Structure 1
Amino acid sequence: MIPFLGDSGRRRNINLGGKTAASHASILDQAKTQRLERETQRRKYESAIKVQAWYRGRSEARRAKAQMQRDFDAGTSPHAGARYLALFGQEDEYRLNAWSLAVIKGGDAALFGPFTTGDAGSWQILLQRLALVLLRTVSRSPESPSALNYLKILDALLSVSTFKKALPFNGENLCLQITSYLLRHDFFRLIREGYLHVPPERKTAPFLPPWTALALSPLSTFSNPSDFANCLIQFLGHVLTVPLIPNRLPLPSVTYLAIHLPISRLDQLPLPEFLTSFPSLEWRAHLIANLSTFAYPRFSKVSGPVIQAYLSLISGLMETLPLGCFEIEKAKKADRWGAEEPDTDDDEIPVAVQVTSFELTPSIASLRLDQRTLNRLQAIQSPAHLQPLLAASSKHPSTRIALCNFILNLCDLMPSKRNNVLGSMAATGSGGLIREIYRGWVRVAPLGKDESTRTWNPQLTPSWVTLLILTELFNHILLTMGDDEFFASAAPNATGARNPLTLDEVVAFSRQLLNVVFALFTELDQRGLQQQGIRGLRMTWEMIRERGTQCLQAIHSRDSRRPFVPTDHWLRTGEMDLKTFVEAALCVAEEDDLVAGARTLTKRQLALLSPRLGILNNIPFAIPFDTRVSIFRRFVANDQAKHPTDPFDRRASRTRVSVRRGKIAQDGFDHLADADLKGEVQISFIDQFGNEEAGIDGGGVFKEFLTSLSKEVFDSDRGLWLETGQRELYPNPHSYATEPHSLNWFRFVGRILGKALYEGILVDIAFAPFFLAKWLKKQSFLDDLASLDPELYRGLIHLKHDPNPEALSLDFTVTLEELGVARTIDLIPDGSNIPVTRQNRLQYIYLVSNFHLNKKIRLQCEAFFDGLASMVDPKWLRMFNQQELQLLVSGANSPIDIDDLRENTQYGGVYDDDEETIRLFWKVLKSFDQDQCRALLRFVTSCSRPPLLGFKELYPKFCIRDSSNDESRLPTSSTCVNLLKLPRYKSEAILRQKILQAVTSGAGFDLS
C-alpha cells in the first residue's frame, strides 16, 4: 500500500482551527506530572494505613496496659503483675514499689515458687527483664525511698547461694543465666552510673553498701575462665574507673570491696583486649589510682603470675598517659657559665639538681583529675606501695622484667618523685636488687658485648629493660654515694659499704654500657630510629641513649677523680676512623652557620657527621685524648679564621701594649682588660730606666709577657688565689675577693688564661680538681672537699658513719674567721637552733660541702668564667675531664721524648744538625734523667712539660743558636721565643757541666 494513498491510521492530522500542535517536551512534562500525582496519592494511602495501624496499636496498647493494671491491682500473688512490670515497670514506680514490697514480704517463695510449676520458662524471662528494670531504676535514682527494696530483690536474683538453697537442682544455672542477661545489657555500666549519681561527700548514703555488694556479685558467679575474664574486664573498666571510689564508700564497704576484689585472679585478664577498651585517658588514670589502692595489701599473698599481671596491667595503662601528667615541674635555673646551680639557700638536699634527664612543661591540664585522685596516684611511689611490691617480686624472680618496666614508666609519669622510686628500689636488700639485676640479667645479656652484633631485634626487649633499670638505679646511687662508700666494696672486710657492685663488676658494666651507648650514637641517625623505641616502653631510642649516657658520665666522673679502670678502658677507636673526628670539628666550629643556613649539608653528610658530633659532645672520653686536643686546636683555628684582620696591613690589626718590667700584672690589667685578645697583641717591655727593651717579636715576646703575667696574677701572695695542701690553686673565698675590683681581676685572669689556651701557650700552673670541675659545668660536693680541706673532709666522713652523731653537739652553722674576727653563718634559717641528728646529717654534710666548695667562691668563679668564655667557647672544654683540662693548661707530665725534640728543633747562627757542638748537645741530653731534661725545658721555654701533641706543636719552635766561642760562659735563653743560646763548647764534659749549672742556678733570660 502506498502511504499517501491509503491507511487513514497514518494520515497526517491537519488542524483547521489555527492552533499550534503540542511540543514533544510538553507531552513529557505532562506525563511526569501525572506520574508524580499518582505517587503522591500512593504515599498518602500508605501513610494513612500506617497512621491507622499505629493508632489502633496505641489504642490497643493503652487498653492492654489498662487491663494489665487492673489485673495487677486485683492480683492476689506477687507474681500476678510481673508481666506488666516487665513491660512498664520503669514508667510506673508506684506499682514497681508495691510489687517489690509484696515480694519481700513473700520471701523466697514469691521469687522462686513459679520455677516449680509449668511456667518456669516464662517466669525466668520475666525475672531477667524485671531485674534489668530494677537495676535501671536504682542507677537512675539511687537515693529514692524504694531503692533499698529493689536492691534486696536484685541481691537475691544474683546470689548463687540463694538460688541453690531455693532450687537445689538447677538454681545455680538459673542464677548464671540471669547474671549473663544483665551483663549483656550493661550491668556494670549501670553500676557505674549509680555511683556517679551520688557525690563523694555523701558516702553515708544507705544504698552504697548493698550497691557495692551487688557490683561484686557477678565476679563470684562465673567459673568458666572466658566468662570470668569477660566479667572482670567489664568490672575493672566500669566500676574501678569510677573517680574516687574509695572516697565514695563508707569504711565497711571499702573493706568489703578490698576483700572481695579478685586480685588473685588478675592473671586471667586478657590484657591486650582490655587495654584497648578505654574511652578516655582519665579512665585509665582512675583505674591506676583505685586498683593500686586496693591491691598492694595483698601482694604478699598472691602468686608470681598475679604479681606479673598486676605490673603489666599498671604499666600498660601508664604507657599511654602523658609524660609527667601527674605533676607540674618547675623550670631549671642556669648560671651565666651554663652550669645548673643549686639554690644554696635551700634547706633540703637538692639531689635532683644533678639529674638533667628531663625537662617538663605543665601537662596536668591534659588530664582532668581531682586533687584527691592525684594524691592517690602519688601514693603509688610511696614505700607503703613499693616495698610490698618489691618484696613480692623478690619472692618471684619471674616478675623482674615486669617490675623493671613498671618502675621505668612510673619514673616517667612522676619525674619529681624519681629519686624516691629509685631510692626505694636501690635500698631493697641493701642493694641486693641491683646485684641481682646485674648478675642475673645484664651480665649475661648479649647487649654491649664486644664480640656481639648489636641489633634492634624485638626479642632483646627483656635485655634492654633490665639494662635500662640497672642504668637508672646505679646512676641514682652514684648521686648520693661518696668515694669512701664507692671504693669500700674493694676491701674484703669492708663494713657499711653501699656500693652493691664490686669494682670489677663496675668496670665490666661500664664497658658493656659504653659499647651500647657508642652503638646508639653511631647507628641511630644512620638507621633513622631516633623517635622509635622498644615495644612495651614509652622511651624512644634517643631517650634510652640519653639515660645510658648519664650513667656512663657518672662512672667516668668517678674514675676521673680517682682512677680505677684499666688503661684504654674508655677508648673505642677500633670502629671509627679518627680522622673523621678532626674533620667533624670543622662542622662543630661552624655550627652557628649551619643553624643560620649559611652552609647546607647533604643528608649523607649529616648522617656521617651527626654520630661523631654526638660522641664528641656526650662521651668524648671514648676518643683518644690526643685526637680531642687536635679537635680543640681545630676549633681555635676556625675561630681565628673568623676574626677580622686587615689583609693589607697586619700591623694595623694588632693591639700594641707597653708594660713595665716591675708592673707587668698592673699594666696588663690596665691595657688588656677590655682589649680584643683574640687578635694579635704586640708587647713592648719597658725596663727600670723607662726605656723600651729590644726583643725578638715573632710571637715570643707576647709569650714571655703571658708567662710572666701568669706567674704574678696566680701568685697566692696577691690575695686572689689560695693553694691547697698539694699546691693547687683555687679562688680565694675571703670577702674582699668578692668586691667589684677583685671580681674584675678574676675576669681579667680568666681572659688571660683563655688567651693562653687560645694560643696554645702552656702555663705552669696547677688548679684544684674541684675548681677544674666547675669549668665542665659540674658542681662540687663532699668527695671534692678532700682536695680543699682534708681535715674537714675526714671529719664529715666520720660524721657520716658515726652511730651517735648527736653526741658531737653540732648545729647547722659554719664559722668563718677573717682578719682575726670570727662570725657564725647559718646554713639554713635558724640553723644555730637546729641540732645535727642521724636523720638530718646527710643534709648537714651536703650543706657544709656546698658552702665551702661552691657558695663561698660563686661570684669569683662566675667572673673568672666570664673572662674565660670570652676567649674559649665552654663547650670546647667539655671534651675533657678535670685531669685533661690541667694537661691542656700546663702540658703533660710525661717523659720528654728527646728524639721528638731533636726532630722539631731549629738552628741559628753557625749551628746545624751536623755541627760538632750540636752533636755533643744531643748526646749529653740523651744522658740526662727526666728531672734534668725538665729543668732544661723550663730553662728554655719557661715550662717543664712537653706540649700535648709533641714538640711539633711548640710555638715558637725550640731553637738553638750559637752565642760565643768562650767555653767559660754559661748557656742563656730567651724564653719568649724558646731560644737556647749555646756557646760553642768542644768538650762533652764541659758542655754537660755548663748546661746543668745554667738550668739549676737560675741563669737565664738574655735580650741580646
Structure 2
Amino acid sequence: MVLIPENLDSLLLPFIEKLLALDEYSSRILDRWYQSLESGFFLALIEKCRKCIIAIMASIFCEQDVTSLLKMMEKLYKVNESCAESIVSFSEFYMPELCIAEVLEFDYRNWVATERFSFCCYPFVFSTKAKALLLQIDMNLRIDEENIVDDIFMRNLAALWGIEEQMESTCLIVNIRRDHLFEDAIKKIEDVENLKRPFRVKFVGEDGIDERGVRKDFFLHLFEELLDPKRKLLRPCEEVDHLWFSCDECVSDDMYRVVGIYCGLAVNNGVVLDMNFPLELYKKLLGADLTRLDLKQIDPVLDRKLQILAEFVENGENTVENTFCRDFTTDASTELIENGKNIAVAAENRNDYINAYVDHVLHKSVDAFANGFQRVCDSKVFKLYRPEELMEMAGGSKNYDWRELEKVTRYTGEYNLTRKPKVIVWFWKVFHCLSQDEKEEFLRFTTGSSKIPIQGLELTIQPKMKNESDGDAVSINDYLPFARTCFNILELLPYESKATLKTQLKKAIKTEGFHAY
C-alpha cells in the first residue's frame, strides 16, 4: 500500500500551485535553476510527484491534486527536453502503474470525452507498451462503433427488402498467391478504402487460418521483397547501420505509398517492422519537417559532400564547375530539376543544387511513404508518441532480458514436465553462454527478427524426433534444431550430450533454410 505523504496537503501541493502560478519571467528563472541540477536531484523531484500521484489514486482520488502534480511533472519534462543534453532519460517520467488495460481503457474513454480528466493529456507518463495498448483499445472501440452502424443498416435493409441479415467482415482480408506475393500484395491494397481494420491474409490454395501466424509469414516474405536490391526501393546508407529511400526515378510515388500502407498495417497489427529505418523517419511519420540537420543523421557521407561543396573557395581555374564536375542530378543520375542533366553546378547556383538535393533525399518518396503510412495509422493515439517510442513499437526493442526469456518460455509434449528434461537444462546452459550476437541470431532464427516486440517475446520449445524414413543410418545427433518462425516455435531434438546440442544449435542459427514460416 502506498501512503500519502503527511505534508502533501499542507506543504507540497500549496508549494507546487505557487510554482505553477509564477509569471513567465520568474518561471524561466526557475527553469534555468532546474536545468543546473544534477540528474539525481532532478530525478528525485520526478519521483516525488509520481509517488504522490500513485498514492492519491490508491486512496480517495482528487482530480485537482493529481492535475497539479502532473502539471509539475510536465514542467520538469519540458525543462528536460529543452536541455542540449537531457538531464535524465524521458523514460524516467513513465508511470508503469498505469500500464493496465482496464485503467487505460477507462482513461482513453475520458480523453475522447474531452471534458473529463485524463492522463492522456500528459502522454509523457505512458510507456511505449502503454501507448501500444491505447492504440489497440482505440482500434477495438472503432471497430465496435462500425459494427453497431453496420448492424443497424443491415437490419433496416433486411426489414425493407425481406432479406436475410448478413454482416460484412470487420477484417481487411487479402488473398495472396505465394508465388506472386509481391505483385499481389501491391495490387490487392491499392483501392481499399478502410485500412484501419484488423489485417488478415489468406494464401491461395492453403488451408491455414490466420491467427497471427499466416499474417506474420506474409510480412516476413514481403519485407524480404522490399529489401531486395533489384526492387530499388531502399538503400543502405554509408557509415550508418540503417536504410533510406533510394528515390530512384524508376520507382513511382504510388509504389512508396503502398509500401507505407503495408508498414502501417504491420504496426497496427502488432508485427515487428524488421526494416532498419533511422529515427528521422519516425519524426517524419509523426508530422515533423525534416531539415539539413536530419540529413546529417540519415546520410552523413552525402551531408559531408554537400558541405564541402558549400564551403569551397574558388581560386583561379579551380572553380566549382571544374573541380566538382557536377550537374543537377543525384549520384544515381536522377534529375533534381527539369533538364538537370544539362545544367552544370557552378558557384552561382550551388546553393540551389544543395537545396534541391536535400529536398530530394528528405521529401521525394518519403512524403509518399508517409502518406501511405498515415492512411492506416491516423489514430489520435499516435499524437501521444515520441519518435523514439514509435520506432520502438514499430521495429522492436533491443532491451534484452535473457533470463526473463527463459522464465516465460513454454514447453509442449514430453518437454512440458515439472522437472525439466536434461536436454532443456542443457539448452539454457548453452544459450546463456552464447555471445550477444549469437543470441540475436537465435532470435532471428526462431522469430524472424532480432528485436523484441513491444508486447514482449513469446517462445515455445517442443520436441522433434528423427524421420523414420532415415532409419538407423542417421543418428538423432545429426539433425539440426528446427524453427517455425511464424509461431515462435523451436523444435529441439533429444540430443545425447550438451556438446552436441551446442554444436547443432550454433550451426542452425547460422544456416539459411533450417526454419519454416
- TM beyond 0.5: yes
Q: Deviations over 1:232-277 (max 9, x none)?
A: xxxxxxxxxxxxxxxxxxxxxxxxxxxxxxxxxxxxxxxxxxxxxx
Contact 1:780 1:854 in 2 (8 A): no
Aligned match of 1:923 in 419, 429, 435? Answer: 429
Contact 1:769 1:883 in 2 (8 A): yes
Aligned match of 1:666 in 177, 183, 186? Answer: 183
Q: Secondary structure at the match of 2:93?
A: coil
Deviation of 1:806 after TM superposition, in Å, equals 7.1
Contact 2:328 2:345 in 1 (8 A): no
Within 5 Å, give how 1:264-413 maps onto structure 2: none
Q: Deviations over 1:516-567 (max 9, x none)?
A: xx99xx9xx938999xxxxxxxxxxx9x999998776554xx6xxxxx4355
Question: Aligned equivalents of 1:961 and 1:580: distance in 2?
Answer: 31
Distance 1:454 1:922, change over 3 A: same
Instruction: Name the amino acid aligned to 2:392.
Output: L
Within 5 Å, give how 1:493-892 maps onto structure 2: 505=36, 526=64, 553=81, 555=83, 564-565=85-86, 567-568=88-89, 571-572=92-93, 578-579=98-99, 583-584=103-104, 586-588=106-108, 594=113, 606-607=116-117, 609=118, 612-616=119-123, 620=124, 623-639=126-142, 641-642=144-145, 644=147, 656-675=173-192, 677-685=195-203, 692-693=205-206, 695=208, 697-725=210-238, 726-737=240-251, 742-794=252-304, 815-817=328-330, 820=333, 835=348, 844=351, 851-855=356-360, 858=363, 860-873=365-378, 875-892=380-397
Q: Structure 2: any 5+ residue segments left out of the alignment?
A: 1-11, 54-62, 152-164, 467-475
Contact 1:961 1:980 in 2 (8 A): yes
> Which residue number in structure 2 is paired with residue 976 of structure 1?
486
Q: Secondary structure at the match of 2:461?
A: strand
Q: Deviations over 1:813-857 (max 9, x none)?
A: 972147757676799xx9989848xxxx9xx5xx76654444555
Distance 1:703 1:456, change over 3 A: same
Q: Secondary structure at the match of 1:755?
A: helix
> Which residue number in structure 1 is paired with residue 454 of structure 2?
948
Q: Deviations over 1:368-417 (max 9, x none)?
A: xxxxxxxxxxxxxxxxxxxxxxxxxxxxxxxxxxxxxxxxxxxxxxxxxx
Contact 1:916 1:986 in 2 (8 A): no
> Which residue number in structure 1 is paired with residue 161 of structure 2?
none
Contact 1:511 1:569 in 2 (8 A): no
Distance 1:459 1:904, change over 3 A: closer
2:3 is aligned with 1:465:
no
Contact 1:659 1:683 in 2 (8 A): yes
Contact 1:582 1:627 in 2 (8 A): no
Contact 1:585 1:631 in 2 (8 A): yes
> Which residue number in structure 2 is paired with residue 958 of structure 1?
459
Q: Secondary structure at the match of 1:735?
A: coil
Q: Structure 1: any 5+ residue segments left out of the alignment?
A: 1-449, 475-500, 531-541, 559-563, 596-600, 687-691, 952-956
Q: Deviations over 1:840-881 (max 9, x none)?
A: x9xx5xx76654444555352333223222322264334343
Deviation of 1:724 after TM superposition, in Å, equals 1.3
Aligned match of 1:902 in 406, 416, 427? Answer: 406
Instruction: Name the amino acid aligned to 1:868.
Output: F
Contact 1:972 1:1003 in 2 (8 A): no
Contact 1:729 1:768 in 2 (8 A): yes
Distance 1:916 1:549, change over 3 A: closer
Deviation of 1:887 after TM superposition, in Å, equals 1.8
Name the % identity.
21
Deviation of 1:720 after TM superposition, in Å, equals 2.1
Contact 1:586 1:634 in 2 (8 A): no
Question: Aligned equivalents of 2:224 and 2:132: distance in 1?
Answer: 25
Distance 1:1002 1:546, change over 3 A: closer
Distance 1:877 1:582, change over 3 A: farther
Distance 1:768 1:746, change over 3 A: same
Instruction: Name the amino acid aligned to 2:122.
Output: I
Question: Aligned equivalents of 1:857 and 1:459: distance in 2?
Answer: 42
Deviation of 1:746 after TM superposition, in Å, equals 1.8
Distance 1:823 1:983, change over 3 A: closer
Question: Aligned equivalents of 1:848 and 1:674: distance in 2?
Answer: 37
Instruction: Name the amino acid aligned to 1:733.
Output: C
| Larger mean Cα displacement after TM superposition, 905-914 or 665-674 | 905-914
| Number of equivalenced pairs | 455
Q: Secondary structure at the match of 1:948?
A: coil
Q: Secondary structure at the match of 1:961?
A: strand
Question: Aligned equivalents of 2:86 and 2:19: distance in 1?
Answer: 31
Aligned match of 2:18 in 456, 460, 474? Answer: 456
Distance 1:465 1:999, change over 3 A: same
Question: Aligned equivalents of 2:298 and 2:223: distance in 1?
Answer: 22
Distance 1:721 1:819, change over 3 A: closer
Question: Aligned equivalents of 1:747 and 1:968: distance in 2?
Answer: 47
Q: What TM-score do the two structures reach when normalised by structure 1?
A: 0.39
Q: Secondary structure at the match of 1:683?
A: strand
Distance 1:783 1:708, change over 3 A: same
Question: Aligned equivalents of 1:580 and 1:909: distance in 2?
Answer: 33
> Which residue number in structure 1 is paired with residue 5 of structure 2?
none
Distance 1:822 1:743, change over 3 A: closer
Contact 2:463 2:494 in 1 (8 A): yes
Q: Secondary structure at the match of 1:873?
A: coil
Cα RMSD after superposing both structures: 4.9
Question: Aligned equivalents of 1:921 and 1:465: distance in 2?
Answer: 63
Q: Deviations over 1:671-694 (max 9, x none)?
A: 2334455445553446xxxxx346
Deviation of 1:774 after TM superposition, in Å, equals 0.5
Contact 1:892 1:946 in 2 (8 A): yes
Question: Aligned equivalents of 2:231 and 2:492: distance in 1?
Answer: 36
Distance 1:545 1:948, change over 3 A: closer
Deviation of 1:752 after TM superposition, in Å, equals 1.3
Which is bigger in relative contact order (C-alpha 8 A, separation at least 6)? 2
Q: Secondary structure at the match of 2:507?
A: helix
Question: Aligned equivalents of 1:759 and 1:698: distance in 2?
Answer: 12
Q: Secondary structure at the match of 2:244?
A: strand
Contact 1:970 1:994 in 2 (8 A): yes
Contact 2:430 2:502 in 1 (8 A): yes
Contact 1:960 1:981 in 2 (8 A): yes
Q: What TM-score do the two structures reach when normalised by structure 2?
A: 0.70
Instruction: Name the amino acid aligned to 1:683.
Output: V
Deviation of 1:964 after TM superposition, in Å, equals 0.8
Question: Aligned equivalents of 2:339 and 2:29: distance in 1?
Answer: 39
Contact 2:480 2:514 in 1 (8 A): no
Contact 1:721 1:732 in 2 (8 A): yes
Q: Deviations over 1:134-189 (max 9, x none)?
A: xxxxxxxxxxxxxxxxxxxxxxxxxxxxxxxxxxxxxxxxxxxxxxxxxxxxxxxx
Distance 1:826 1:820, change over 3 A: closer
Contact 1:782 1:849 in 2 (8 A): no
Distance 1:938 1:465, change over 3 A: same
Contact 1:753 1:868 in 2 (8 A): yes
Question: Aligned equivalents of 1:684 and 1:569: distance in 2?
Answer: 41
Deviation of 1:979 after TM superposition, in Å, equals 1.7
Question: Aligned equivalents of 1:1006 and 1:553: distance in 2?
Answer: 45
Question: Aligned equivalents of 2:139 and 2:334: distance in 1?
Answer: 47
